[in-house]
Amino acid sequence: MTERFVAFDGVTKTFAGGVHAVRDLNLDIARGEFVTFLGPSGSGKTTSLMMLAGFETPTAGSILLDGRSLDRLPPYHRGIGMVFQSYALFPHMTVAENIAFPLTVRRRPRAEIEDAVRQALDLVQLTAMGGRRPAQLSGGQQQRVALARALVFKPPLVLMDEPLGALDRQLREHMQIEIKHIHARLGVTLVYVTHDQGEALTMSDRIAIFRDGSLQQVGLPGEVYERPLTSFVAQFVGESNQFAGTLRDVTGLVELDGGWRMPATIVHPLAIGARTTVSVRPERIRLSRDDGAAGAVQELIYHGDHLRVVVRTDHGHAVFAKLLAGAVPAWVRDGAAIRVSWDAADARALDALPNHTTEEKLQ
């Protein structure tokens, strides 16, 4: 069981006007863990983080930090470090003064502050930049200053809300690794908000996936990717083929709309005859010349390290497969006749997506 360093116990947040931003959130975070809140815009990630920070108050439920209820503890007494997308640095202060700020307001002795600022500057690799003003730094450097400022008072818990959102892709990927290294080195507990599933998979110990204010699934990156519990998670994390169909028997045989009968693993509680969405990762699609549903190669897209292949089956399904470069048979050619199949273990029969619920809609 996860140690409850941070615990959300039945936390709900309803804003004036009846917006259900967070619904009955139950989540435990262990000391030293890196947990990411992942979800589309408006799914309740930031509101959950703001309640933990103390800037929003839960409508119901409570939040514990290290066994203590945060119910009546104001933000500045929670001892939590925060980093936002907007760096929120003070423009008139130097980098060193910005980083020192949390210690200055805590009235720490000058020697201790100087020492801590030096260490924090080293940690984010800005050793020589202490005398500059924020305007004299690049976006990436400013974000490092914000990071150093959040870490300088050695908080046991650090919250980050889309901290890399304003950076270009290359710098973002670099900073992802750097934040991961800093987390490992300091052993701090980190809660990170992003809508970028790649970022979540790369950085996190565990990922909590939000949708419409509800937690959909919590798990290790590999678990969430390999074993999604809902069709939303299968669609949101990584790429997947999603086929609408009807469950035909208890072994997981699904009749896909259009008449293709394929085996799947029943994940969602489904009665025989229930509508379902079958989800298959593109790298788990098997292409063959003699085994599976007949079709033709409709599209081949070269991606350097892999090839994306779209097969249009005779049943009318577009099936998307991913093949590693170097493992592409010569018969996978544009327009070639080809057959597609998958193992039951690689296909997950999940809840029906809204547009997959009635057979009529698909006709």
- Maximum Cα–Cα distance for the chain, whole Å? 77
Which residue in 269, 275, 247 sits closest to 344, CA to CA? 247
Instruction: Give the span between the Cα atoms of 259 and 145, in whole angstroms.
Output: 58
* Binding status of residue 21 toward ligand ATP by CB under 6 A: yes
Residue range at the interface with ligand ATP (CB under 6 A); choices 37-45, 82-90, 282-290, 293-301: 37-45
* Binding status of residue 216 toward ligand ATP by CB under 6 A: no
* Binding status of residue 41 toward ligand ATP by CB under 6 A: yes
User: Which helix or strand (DSSP H or E) is residue 49 part of?
Assistant: helix 45-53
Q: Is 1 helix (H, G, I), strand (E, B) or coil?
A: coil
Residue range at the interface with ligand ATP (CB under 6 A); choices 1-9, 24-32, 35-43, 344-352: 35-43
Q: How far is CA 145 from CA 79, 94, 126, 171, in A?
A: 19, 10, 8, 15
Among 149, 183, 195, 317, interactor with ligand ATP by CB under 6 A: 195
289: DSSP letter:
S
* Binding status of residue 45 toward ligand ATP by CB under 6 A: yes
Among 32, 42, 140, 165, interactor with ligand ATP by CB under 6 A: 42
Which residue in 294, 286, 282, 271 sits closest to 349, CA to CA? 271
* Binding status of residue 165 toward ligand ATP by CB under 6 A: no
Bridge-based pairing of strands 241-247 and 275-280 is antiparallel
Q: How far is CA 268 from CA 224, 238, 279, 347, 352, in A?
A: 15, 19, 12, 12, 9
* Binding status of residue 39 toward ligand ATP by CB under 6 A: yes
* Binding status of residue 55 toward ligand ATP by CB under 6 A: no
Alpha helix (H) ranges present in 187-246?
197-203, 221-226, 231-236
Nearer to ligand ATP by Cβ, of 204 and 277: the residue is: 204
Residue range at the interface with ligand ATP (CB under 6 A); choices 40-48, 132-140, 264-272, 340-348: 40-48
* Binding status of residue 211 toward ligand ATP by CB under 6 A: no
Among 3, 10, 19, 337, interactor with ligand ATP by CB under 6 A: 19
* Binding status of residue 272 toward ligand ATP by CB under 6 A: no
| Contacts to ligand ATP by CB under 6 A | 15, 19, 21, 39, 41-47, 195
